[in-house]
Structure 1
Amino acid sequence: MTPPDDPVEALKILAETIEDDMFLLHETDKGHRSVAYVCCYCSGFDPSKKLDKLLDEIHEPVPSYHKIGPSMEKYFSRVEVGKNVKRMNWSVVDSPILFNCGSNHVNADDLEHITEDEDIDVSKSRLRVELQTLSRLPETRAVLFSFKTHLCTLDEIKSEGLGPQLADAIDGLKQGNAPGMWTYKGAVRWGKKVKEYLRS
């Protein structure tokens, strides 16, 4: 199969062919910059607003990112061709909808408009896990950041005996070196109800 000359058409084909979301980043004198993306399953952000942004600009809403920003730039620079790097990222969301630009994260501007400890429907809540991969492209030397999203119901977590463990992990969002994660990941809204259910 011959790839299309039009890069936008190539991105459309990728979006229809694989399940992963993808961001392509080029290294510049100022850091890694997002130059293209296919993002069908965003969680709490508008992917169009990440285009042409540097890593630290992309992660500006993330609590305490400034502490790790320089080391993340070095980490991206060290990715080698054929030696992909993988990690997991998780959150709990109060809806099974995969494409959600707005409500999964809580930013400072949202605080006056949200209700703490909402009476959410736990049957609609999900553990949302991203398998994130960094890959170095051999010709352009760009870094491909891809992530595949998995959703699990809270009942699935409980059926495996992992309810209390997830509840403890949710408590951990308030602690550590980025305590702002409790609010940013939305636990300020759903945390109480979800933890009670997981421990029941």
Structure 2
Amino acid sequence: MFYPFLYLIGFTRNSKAYKIFTLYLIGIGIIQFLMGFVRNFLDFETNLFLFKYYFIFQFLMLSYFYKTLLGYRWVYFMTSIALLFFIFQYIDDPELSAKYNPLGSAIAQIIIVIYSLLYFYRLLSAKGEFLIVNIGVFFYMLISILIFAAGNLVFVDEFKSVSSIMRNLNAVFYFVFQVLILLEWGKNYYKKKNLNG
């Protein structure tokens, strides 16, 4: 995953939203590396215990990213309420820490989709940055909500064929999201890098 390194190139000379998105990419990259390391090199049956860090980190960073793009203070309120709900979930059911959290993940993704829709609406009347990334966030989150609506069913051995199809479909849409992140950098920030020397 080299996207964080591309976005780091212009870290100091770009907007606050750019910096937040770069930190999001770095954090997600680290968590994905750890998930792969646990699955491939350590003697763990599953890496799902790391999922809570992935989805909560993603939710917090993308919420802050959209707060910066939209400027609405209520984004902090909405994010705080959702975060308190996630904390309550894990306190109420400690075993949830070792499983996929379908309700928490769906709520987080629905909120991000709402922020993304609001940003699309804003872009109708004013020019803004991160249009391509916003398209990627919108479609990837929306598809993820639909794919993983079945929750832990995706990770149950009895449904291996369905599980495999759903995971592969999610991987395809995640790849498209990654391509859009690269396109955003190439179209809007690579030129700035060259112009600034």
Classify the TM-score, shorter chain: under 0.3
Normalised by the length of structure 2, the TM-score is: 0.26
Q: Specify which structure has the higher proportion of strand.
A: 1
TM-score of the pair, normalised by structure 1: 0.26
